[in-house]
Amino acid sequence: MGKKVTLKDIAEDSGLSVSTVSRALARTGKISSENERRIFESAQRLNYPLSIIDTPWELRETVNIAIVTHFYTGEFFSSLFFGFNAATLNTKANVRLLSVANDPASAIEVIAGLKSSNFDAAVVFLPDFKEQDYHDLLKAVPDNFPVVSAAPIVSPVLDTVTFDHYRGGYLVASHFEEQGFEKVGIIQGPAVKSEALLRKNGFWDYIASTKSLKCVWDFRGDYSLESGIEAFKAYQKSENKPEAIFCSNDDVAIGFMHSAVRNGVRIPEDVAIASFDDLPKCEYYTPSITSVHSPYERLGEKVIELILERLKSDNGARQSGYTSLVPVSLNVRESSLNPEPVISELR
């Protein structure tokens, strides 16, 4: 067996005092970042048994980031995680997806314990959280543990990186106008979710800015396939049917379209459809679905970039309510294209 490495060995190797080495390894007291780096590099070189949790992140091979959400089956969460995982390429970041109970107190307890489980930071995607839940979360997590939200917050408490949901709704309405539709409708998402409100507001604000469009039909949904099915039933009963409908997400669109096809309603000939998220199934559904494209890898890149900046800073866990919006675009496909009129010429 080799000689046991002591604090004195590290002190001699780094050229610093034993007391400074002791404070650095215990992460107590104020030590310059340069001296801290020298001590931990020396400890690693001498094979001193270091605790991962106490080793400065810049000296580790990986930075462990937890993506905390309440997981549901379906393409959305797999696309979200795939995007974050792709964003870690050529970085020190390592991401793990953690599913928590759909209960704020339980979720906060899990997040508060992440640092002791060798995580360096957390990304929370918890759209059901209320403002007070975020305040409670900040009180519970360690002071030096960065937490970033990937879900929009009406009154931002955490630093947030999210998609430009408002712009997505705006783009759909603009597209409907370009296609020559006049009467439009919307299947809203849950009223309690900030992103659903933003998508609706973007759509309605564009309509209010032009004389070409009029919203004649409105249905309150909840992001599920079943919600799309129920929306179609309401559409069938409507006396003033829209020519084009903005669905709050892809699942709602598929539920509506599936029911429409089974009942002889043609898409886009009888009613055009556009949705939000642009999950892979949009391209392969028949007809293919126009949807607002949410670049999950870009979201992951921006979140990881922010977290690494926070880890470098002495006040890395301090929250300012900073919000960064990731741009979205509209992927136009068959479901929203206004069929060209058939023109016959008498000869």
**Rounded mean pLDDT for each run of 10 residues along the chain, 347 residues in total:** 76 85 74 77 76 60 89 84 91 90 92 89 92 92 89 87 97 97 96 92 97 96 94 96 97 97 96 97 96 96 91 67 92 92 40
pTM of the model: 0.82
> What strands, in cross-sheet order, belong to the sheet with 159-163?
93-99, 63-69, 121-125, 147-149, 159-163, 323-326
Question: Parallel, antiparallel, or unpaired: how do β-strands 329-331 and 290-293 relate?
Answer: antiparallel
Compute CA distances 301 → 96, 105, 114, 295, 305, whole Å. 15, 29, 21, 10, 6
CA 254 to chain centre: 22
SS3 at position 206: helix
Position 318 scores a pLDDT of 67
Alpha-carbon span 166 to 250, nearest angstrom = 16
Alpha-carbon span 24 to 41, nearest angstrom = 12
Alpha-carbon span 48 to 29, nearest angstrom = 21
All structural domains of the chain: 1-39 (no CATH), 63-163+296-328 (3.40.50.2300), 165-294+331-336 (3.40.50.2300)
Of 170, 91, 100, 168, residue with least CA distance to 129? 100
Position 52 scores a pLDDT of 55
Start-end of H helices in the chain? 7-14, 18-26, 33-45, 75-87, 104-112, 131-140, 165-178, 194-208, 225-237, 250-262, 281-284, 296-312
Of 40, 123, 141, residue with least CA distance to 302? 123
Eight-class DSSP state of 147: E
Torsion sign across C-alpha atoms 151, 333, 79, 191: positive
Position 192 scores a pLDDT of 86
CA 307 to chain centre: 14
Alpha-carbon span 166 to 202, nearest angstrom = 4
Position 343 scores a pLDDT of 42
Of 180, 327, 177, 335, residue with least CA distance to 247? 335
